[in-house]
């Protein structure tokens, strides 16, 4: 197994034709601009590595990715998640990095444990396939926070599970467990927590047995225009997030989620 890098928040290793990109911000792996940039850089480097034929995207800790930190990016903003300043100043840059993830040329298998929530769901939908566990939970909880979905989810989620189910997830913020996710096509297979990573690697190895140029060619056809569509969608998503973040409902939504209670929204 060979390591690549250096990176500060991810590790990139390769065993045979399969590379693993592991997010290393346990236990919850909240993401920001720096983390998405590193993953995008790793994907581009692996695209330029002929010996790599497939990628596993995985994460340390309890949750694959429990959401985003849309703080201002300043060193002293700490846990200032979903700050209004962050949506004004840094989220656009983050979404441009997110589009880079969808321009990856090689197939990606996601090993999704624990929660993939909000923007973390967006990260989980970057791979071609997702292996989940019975304990995995997928959710698009943006409206419960009083904001608009982001990370291109208005494109990727309906494309994967259909408009009706995606709309239900967006409107209600419902958490979809692993077994239901497989039934909906949100995940492709279930594994135990103990075998999750190895099952994802097995699928990647199966892909790697096919002719690599053909796989990349087929993938390019199937995903033609996807990154450009996501780039366009994130521009609208960001505009909606910016004005909604200034509302009283967004302030209440963020407080209520932190306090683990239903929000009391007034439409203001």
Q: Are 21 and 39 in contact (CB under 8 A)?
A: yes
Give the CATH number of the domain where residue 189 resides: 3.90.226.10
Say if residue 74's pLDDT is above 80: no
Identify which of 118, 152, 155 has the alpha carbon closest to the alpha carbon of residue 137. 118
Average pLDDT score over residue span 34-39: 96
Our CA dihedral for 197, 200, 204, 209, rounded to 10 degrees, sits at 100
266 occurs within a structural domain: no
Alpha-carbon span 12 to 85, nearest angstrom? 32
268 occurs within a structural domain: no
264 occurs within a structural domain: no
265 occurs within a structural domain: no
263 occurs within a structural domain: no
If you count DSSP H runs as helices and E runs as strands, how many of each does the chain have, helices first? Answer: 12, 10
Global pTM reads 0.93
What residues contact residue 71 under an 8 Å CB cut-off, 6+ apart?
Answer: 32, 77, 78, 79, 80, 81, 82, 83, 85, 86, 90
88 occurs within a structural domain: yes
Instruction: Provide the pLDDT confidence category of residue 80 given band limits of 50, 70 and 90.
Output: very low
Q: pLDDT digit string (tens) for 205-249? A: 999 999 999 999 999 999 999 999 999 999 999 999 999 999 999
Q: Are 178 and 124 in contact (CB under 8 A)?
A: no
Instruction: Provide the pLDDT confidence category of residue 78 given band limits of 50, 70 and 90.
Output: very low
Query: Is 36 exposed, middle or buried (CB count within 10 Å of its CB: 0-12, 13-18, 19+)?
Result: buried
Residue 90: give the domain boundaries: 2-258
210 occurs within a structural domain: yes
Say if residue 57's pLDDT is above 60: yes
Say if residue 5's pLDDT is above 90: no
Alpha-carbon span 23 to 237, nearest angstrom? 25
Say if residue 180's pLDDT is above 80: yes
Report the chain's terminal Cα–Cα distance, integer Å.
55
Most distant CA atoms of the chain, gap in Å: 57
217 occurs within a structural domain: yes
Higher pLDDT: 257 or 85? It is: 257
Instruction: Provide the pLDDT confidence category of residue 70 given band limits of 50, 70 and 90.
Output: low
Where do the H-state alpha helices sit in the chain?
33-47, 84-89, 91-102, 119-124, 142-145, 153-161, 163-172, 178-184, 196-208, 212-222, 226-245, 248-258
Q: Which helix (H) or strand (E) holds 3?
A: strand 2-4
Per the structure, how many domains does the chain have?
Answer: 1
Q: pLDDT digit string (tens) for 11-33? A: 999 999 999 999 999 999 999 99
Q: What is the percent of the chain where pLDDT is above 70?
A: 91
């Amino acid at each position: 197994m060979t390591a690549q890098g250096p990176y500060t928040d991810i590790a990139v290793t390769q065993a045979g034709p399969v590379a693993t990109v592991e997010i290393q911000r346990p236990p919850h792996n909240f993401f920001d601009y720096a983390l998405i940039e590193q993953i995008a850089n790793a994907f581009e480097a692996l695209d330029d590595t002929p010996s790599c034929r497939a990628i596993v995207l995985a994460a340390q800790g309890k949750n694959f990715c429990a959401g985003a930190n849309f703080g201002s990016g300043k060193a002293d903003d700490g846990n200032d998640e979903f700050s209004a300043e962050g949506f004004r100043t840094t989220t656009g840059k983050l979404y441009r990095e997110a589009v880079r993830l969808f321009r990856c040329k090689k197939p990606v298998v996601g090993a999704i444990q624990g929660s993939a929530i909000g923007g973390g769901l967006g990260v989980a939908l970057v791979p071609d396939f997702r292996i989940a566990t019975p304990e995995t939970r997928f959710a698009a909880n943006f409206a419960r926070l009083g904001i608009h979905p982001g990370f291109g989810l208005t494109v990727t989620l309906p494309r994967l599970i259909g408009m009706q189910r995606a709309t239900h997830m967006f409107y209600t913020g419902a958490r979809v467990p692993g077994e239901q996710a497989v039934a909906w096509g949100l995940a492709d297979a279930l594994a135990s927590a103990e075998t999750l990573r190895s099952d994802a690697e097995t699928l990647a190895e199966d892909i790697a047995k096919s002719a690599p140029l053909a796989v990349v060619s087929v993938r390019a056809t199937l995903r033609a225009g996807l990154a450009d569509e996501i780039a366009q969608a994130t521009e609208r998503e960001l505009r909606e997030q910016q004005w909604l973040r200034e509302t009283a409902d967004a302030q209440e939504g963020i407080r209520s989620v932190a306090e683990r209670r239903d929000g009391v929204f007034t439409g203001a």
